[in-house]
Structure 1
């Protein structure tokens, strides 16, 4: 998302420079290492300040933009540089964990709060994160977005990709192909796969074949979750290269993902951009990505509701087709680089006006 934000800002006409590749993340709760990272970040900030102040005023940065700060990765550079140059400080995808006010990350937590206090605007993707920002007047929602170019390119070639995948994976092109595209990691990802397996097991009378794209340390557990299925029902592709994913989406008919405890998943957007309707578990983040009844179905958590939603969309062929046609249009209007560029530009202009 960081690279996409830079692309969107550039598309909006801004001259964007990556100021630092410094990573402040400290994952284990080691106060000494956090202190070292703070010191390094402070040193880098001083170096940047000297460099920028040596430039003619017209060549100096006009705004500082930081992506993704939270208690494990506070911003040790941006606030200092912005204050020294007297320019607006804007952050995107910040999260606040109040339970970290004490304990091994307390200092980093305080740094996050201080950065948010200084920020002129806080760009948020997830409504749950947005609610935790201390000053709600600073919250500026932005819908998750992507570059639609590779997905626009594959939609007209759906037939060719479908034929190739059918041959490669011995799939029946006359059946609806369901796609699950996610890492096979322990925890919530595994829980989603397990719920999906149970839901599909509950509709054995429906025609479908499932394609699973993704790998990870829980790969065997995911395979075991589908052990009940006849071999021709499920195909495991393992890790699929990112440049191949648009064609895979286009070849399939429906993305299915319970999204257990997920903020939001980019696969939901990618699938819709490629022309697939989706069935996904309902939560505040996912609700920003899927238009209920227009580009897919959202269902409340639980095996029965998810199974019922998959059954319904498989039964309603015409409705499923209409959702697939609507999905790329909705993505282009609300979740494209152009849409993000316009929204970000408005946010930055407002922040610059003070």
Structure 2
């Protein structure tokens, strides 16, 4: 099929790296691997940082102009077989695809759409109504987590839903890893207020309680909360912490290969691509049993998921892997097998082919 792809939150070509951009690119690769021709329909970013009506109105005008541009293009060159929107939610609804798909009788598909009733207030309620209409219109809404699936099912009972497990492009991890340092911990995360800062705070607390063990940690990440993050770790020995800052995505595998355990509490994680990357590199994970993390980490097999907010349990899980090298080695091998075999582009391409084959295309 010829597929028009759109990511309202962040284009494939956006200059700032993020999990959203990474997953959008991975989806395009998986669709292409399945034999489809994928074209970037638009680079218009429809993102509302705050519920402010002036910005909302301005973005809607831009979206109408972009839809008109694409309509002229389709009239001239022919319409695509399918429209595919990645990650529409209350701050980034799709105001281009539904209108065009309806006007040109093109099947409309979403991936990782989300709906949260607690956002139904003020302007966010208006934005969510747009998401709900798009989801209801869609021939298929592809969900990455059971939490997102349930949220859509509860809010839009007639929505057509399908599941696709979170995945990554594992090509950078195909080489058999050299033996990393088993006591080297690794964390990869942006430094920003909110959930990320809360996770850094919990991580620092946990490490402070296991100072008697010979761990070191490499931290990859930067952002506006950099100073607050470093302040959380101020009570820990400076020579145990390697602050790597923001690095190119291509350099992340080498950092992971050098470690032994991936540690990240995961407050607010939709699922966490970094967890899959760590496991692909052969690192068992210590995280919380929270949000979408259980979708990408198998508790007791590829790592440990501890109760939400329980610092002692989180620290204890790290200690267990630091002191039981045989268990860590077994988990490391299973983590790598799980990701390379079950969460790869090939696996995602096969599942997408199965899902899209059920959609009638004119």
Report the TM-score when normalising by structure 1.
0.89
For residue 157 of structure 2, the aligned residue among 135, 139, 152 is 135
**CA deviation map 1:3-60 (0-9, x unaligned):** 11111100000011111111222222232332332233223223323332344xxx53
**Number of residue pairs matched?**
336
* Contact kept in structure 1, 2:106 and 2:361, CA below 8 Å: no
The answer on 1:119 being equivalent to 2:138 is: yes
RMSD: 2.0
More moved, 302-311 vs 121-130:
121-130
Q: Post-superposition shift, 1:100?
A: 4.2
Q: Post-superposition shift, 1:102?
A: 4.0
Unaligned runs of 5+ in 2: 1-22
Aligned partner of residue 91 in structure 2, secondary structure: coil
More moved, 124-133 vs 334-343:
124-133
**CA deviation map 1:74-127 (0-9, x unaligned):** 211111111122121100111113344441234322211111110111111233
Aligned partner of residue 297 in structure 1, secondary structure: strand
The answer on 1:243 being equivalent to 2:250 is: yes
For residue 324 of structure 2, the aligned residue among 316, 320, 328 is 316
Output aligned runs, 1:1-354, within 5 Å. 1-55=23-77, 60-133=79-152, 134-135=156-157, 138-153=160-175, 155-156=176-177, 158=178, 176-301=183-308, 302-352=310-360
**CA deviation map 1:217-239 (0-9, x unaligned):** 22222222222222332222222
Q: Equivalents in 1 of 2:113, 2:215: separation in Å?
A: 40
More moved, 121-130 vs 15-24:
121-130
Q: Equivalents in 2 of 1:331, 1:194: separation in Å?
A: 28
Q: Post-superposition shift, 1:339?
A: 0.9
* Contact kept in structure 2, 1:63 and 1:352, CA below 8 Å: no
Q: Equivalents in 2 of 1:178, 1:100: separation in Å?
A: 36
Report the TM-score when normalising by structure 2.
0.87
Q: Equivalents in 1 of 2:48, 2:228: separation in Å?
A: 30
Structure showing greater Rg: 1
Aligned partner of residue 185 in structure 2, secondary structure: strand
Aligned partner of residue 5 in structure 1, secondary structure: helix
Aligned partner of residue 350 in structure 2, secondary structure: helix
Q: Greater helix percent: which structure?
A: 1
Q: Equivalents in 2 of 1:204, 1:24: separation in Å?
A: 46
Distance verdict in 2 for CA 1:100–1:222, change over 3 Å? closer
Q: Equivalents in 2 of 1:27, 1:33: separation in Å?
A: 9
Aligned partner of residue 292 in structure 2, secondary structure: helix
Distance verdict in 2 for CA 1:23–1:314, change over 3 Å? same
Q: Equivalents in 1 of 2:91, 2:250: separation in Å?
A: 31
